[in-house]
Amino acid sequence: MLPLEAELPPVEALDESAEYPQVQLDHLRMWFQVGGGLFRNPVAVKAVDDVSLALWKGETVAIVGESGSGKTTLGRAALRLLEPTDGRLLYAGMDITHAWQRDLMWLRRTAGIIPQDPYSSVNPTFPIYRILEEPLAVHRIGTHAERTERIYRALESVKLIPPELFQMKFPHQLSGGQRQRVAVARAMILGPEFIVADEPVSMLDASVRISILKLLRQLQEASGITFLYITHDLATARHFSHRVGIMYAGKLTELGPVGAVLGEPLHPYTQALIEAIPDPDPENRGRERPALPGEPPLLTTPPPGCRFHPRCPIAKAGLCDVEEPPLRELRPGHLVACHLAS
């Protein structure tokens, strides 16, 4: 069997005429104010801090990070569900950083989200038909017959066949995998160009996971959707995305083609992350897995310099704890934010 990467169309060859990336994050910051009171100043949680990322039409970029690394916030900001604190967000070259929500109805039609938890993301009192009809109703699309046609086609595209049967079921009558297919169908029903898939399979069994991710790839091949795949699972990122970005404490630490980042990780955090993940192998039994001690920093008070330096095995005093490393392109298309990488 061909390696998966080869099956996916190469990104450069996708659309020569496209001048702008589908979605572009330009030095984006997303800070939240928490706490505060009469005698206390509120503190800023720097969930996403100075992240630049461009997604080209038809590609899947995986954002991998531990919980609390800011990856979900990044996804929500990329959809303008949050208004960035600083930086710019461009959609097909158009600056929508501070656009009003009511001027963004077109964006809501062309960009969608697949949420993490298929159990809580669909209204339990709605039948599947109504769950899928709602986006159409909100955007006042189609007559009743046209909507039904669209809903049936969407259900067929996510392999909930026959659609006549599934459209009248309620979420509790479906398995976790089937519910997630409904969530995919809902994200797809308006014919989007860009979808943020926020941990779409982390609640599902291994086999169901693969079936959903394969489905997403088929949909991408059929209609050239751009995916931002947010996950904590490097292994699925490897097999189902073109490029991968590693996030740590609100920063993008490494970004590049999947094969390069996982084959030759340049950032010590990426290296440690890869080391920590076991593939099924009985040899694992006899050895201890190299794992970094400690925990990621609090996003209210990230350490100065490189945010990873307190846990970094190769950190250099006087450099890493003082100066923040910029994201540098060390190999073609392969960027890393580390002073010591070469």
Identified binder of other proteins from the candidate list 285, 313, 332, 342, rule CB under 8 A: 285
Distance CA 176, CA 201 (A): 10
34 sits near other proteins (criterion: CB under 8 A): no
Count, in order, helices (H) and strands (E) of the chain: 11, 12
Q: Residue 283 CB, nearest distance to other proteins (Å)?
A: 8
Contact flags string 159-198 toward other proteins, x per CB under 8 A? ----------------xxx---------------------
Helix (H) or strand (E) holding 52: strand 43-55
Contact flags string 207-236 toward other proteins, x per CB under 8 A? xxxxx--x-----------------xxxxx
Distance CA 264, CA 261 (A): 6
Cβ proximity to other proteins: between 1 and 145 the closer is 1
Beta sheet of 43-55, edge-to-edge order: 43-55, 23-34, 86-91, 94-95
Distance CA 309, CA 319 (A): 10
Distance CA 16, CA 250 (A): 32
Identified binder of other proteins from the candidate list 262, 266, 337, 341, rule CB under 8 A: 262
DSSP letters spanning 152-205:
HHHHHHTT--SHHHHTT--GGGS-HHHHHHHHHHHHHTT--SEEEEESTTTTS-
* Footprint (CB under 8 A) of other proteins, residues 38-67: 66-67
73 sits near other proteins (criterion: CB under 8 A): no
Residue 79 vs residues 12, 90, 114: alpha-carbon distances, Å: 24, 10, 12
Q: Residue 288 CB, nearest distance to other proteins (Å)?
A: 5
Cβ proximity to other proteins: between 54 and 203 the closer is 203
205 sits near other proteins (criterion: CB under 8 A): yes
Distance CA 124, CA 135 (A): 16
Q: Residue 306 CB, nearest distance to other proteins (Å)?
A: 17
Binding-site residue total for other proteins (CB under 8 A)?
48
Cβ proximity to other proteins: between 4 and 330 the closer is 4
* Footprint (CB under 8 A) of other proteins, residues 132-151: none
Q: Residue 309 CB, nearest distance to other proteins (Å)?
A: 16
Contact 144, 101 (CB under 8 A): no
Distance CA 265, CA 5 (A): 17
* Footprint (CB under 8 A) of other proteins, residues 289-328: 289-293, 295
Identified binder of other proteins from the candidate list 181, 186, 238, 242, rule CB under 8 A: 238
Binding site for other proteins (CB under 8 A): 1-5, 7, 66-67, 175-177, 205-211, 214, 232-236, 238-239, 262, 272-285, 288-293, 295
